A and B are shown apart, each in its own frame.
Chain A
Amino acid sequence: MSDQSWAKHVADVLRRNDIRLFATVPDFIVSHVLDELWTDPECRVITTTREEEAVGLLSGAWLAGRRGALLMQNSGLGNCVNALASLNVASFVPLVLVMSHRGDLGEFNPAQVPMGRALPRVLDALGIRWIRPTSIAELEQQADGLIKLCYAEGQPVAIVLPTELTGGKKG
């Protein structure tokens, strides 16, 4: 088992920015972060059937005064493009997205590659600011500022978790 200490850093960044409500469609890599959150009695994690549903749920929670983060595989971004564009981006509803970057370095499954390769351009096309830290030091350097920007601007932002940080999925 590779070192998964990065996952606690991701969970801690979210928690210290007052995020206690999480929605997820689980993913092998993101599940390391979920392990931190599921065992925290102050955090609530809701598993949805589809990522788009989680966008709706967390947007509603923000309208009711609670910050939220959506944890998913990057393929799930494809399942919530319209919701992000037409609700969050259009109407200034902030939301923190945390997603693994499957389909990039070390990928074993060719079906993951097209969405993995499209990921930066999909986020850019939506106007969503994103970071892709390749080390814990980079994560710690960038993530607080990204979340601050999210709520200052009232827009979704994304933390993309590359293989260099997480070790990826071996197959």
Chain B
Amino acid sequence: MSPLTRLGVTRYLASRLTREVVVANLGSASLDLYAIADRPLNCYTFGAMGQCSSIGLGIAVARPDVRVICLDGDGSLLMNLGSLCTIAAEAPRNFVLMVWDNEVHQTTGGQPTATARKASLLGIARGAGIDRGLEVRTQAELEHAVDRVLTEDGPLVVVVKIDKGPTTVPFDLDVIAQPASFRRALAAV
């Protein structure tokens, strides 16, 4: 059991944000971020399961002047591991991939993912060619990691081991309107 919770790590990261774009994975990552720190530069993703890191990469490529922080999940990234190879090859300096790794498919009822067994997402990221990465298991490690997330040249991968547990936030986001409102907010930056 990890001492870190998704709500807790989301709250800490949000407290440090300024003008970064934050792209959140569908389900728990988006809902927790929405509840704690809704802001115009949050991009909540709802469709395209697995594609959170790719959507974030696309934003980073199109807007190299803005730092992009992706909040992916372990199940989602495991579905799109090739994305790590593309991130390594394109190497956007303004891109950080954080993974809330609770070792379960939380949204579908808590079934174990591959990270509960043998797989290390940090190891896979390194194998894909992303040299800068770290794994976080404590609040002190999280605070050090967020220092790097906000300042260091990317691509950077931060795997945050968090406790299991579904979100308690109700789903009341406008999925249809959200992409357009995020697009307008980013265009104004």
Interface residues of A (CB under 8 A from B): 21, 44, 46-50, 52-66, 68, 82-83, 85-88, 90-93, 154
Contacts and interface: CB of A to CB of B under 8 A. Distances in A.
A53 B86 contact: yes
Given A46-B86, A52-B50, A86-B48, A59 B186 contact: no
Interface stretch (B28-36, B57-65, B139-147): B57-65
Interface stretch (B12-20, B77-85, B158-166): B77-85
B186 A87 contact: no
Q: For A47, A53, A54, which residue has the most chain B Cβ atoms within 10 angstroms?
A: A53
Contact of A90 (B66, B89, B175, B187): B175
A83 B51 contact: yes
Contact of B61 (A61, A83, A91, A93): A61
Given A60-B54, A92-B180, A48 B86 contact: yes
Given A53-B51, A55-B48, A60 B178 contact: no
Nearest to B186: A64
Given A63-B179, A92-B180, A21 B47 contact: no
A87 B62 contact: no
B96 interface: no
B79 to A, nearest CB: 9
Contacts of A46: 61, 86, 90
A93 B176 CA distance: 10
A53 B83 contact: yes
Determine chain A's interface SS by DSSP, over half rule. Answer: helix
A59 B62 contact: no
Nearest to A63: B183
Contact of B58 (A47, A58, A86): A58
Contacts of A60: 23, 54-62
A91 B46 contact: yes
29 contacts: A48-B86, A49-B83, A50-B80, A50-B82, A55-B48, A55-B54, A56-B48, A56-B53, A56-B55, A56-B80, A56-B83, A57-B86, A59-B51, A59-B58, A60-B57, A60-B62, A61-B61, A62-B58, A63-B59, A63-B182, A64-B59, A66-B61, A68-B58, A82-B49, A85-B47, A87-B51, A92-B176, A92-B179, A154-B180
B51 A64 contact: no
Contacts of B104: none
Q: For A50, A64, A91, which residue has the most chain B Cβ atoms within 10 angstroms?
A: A64
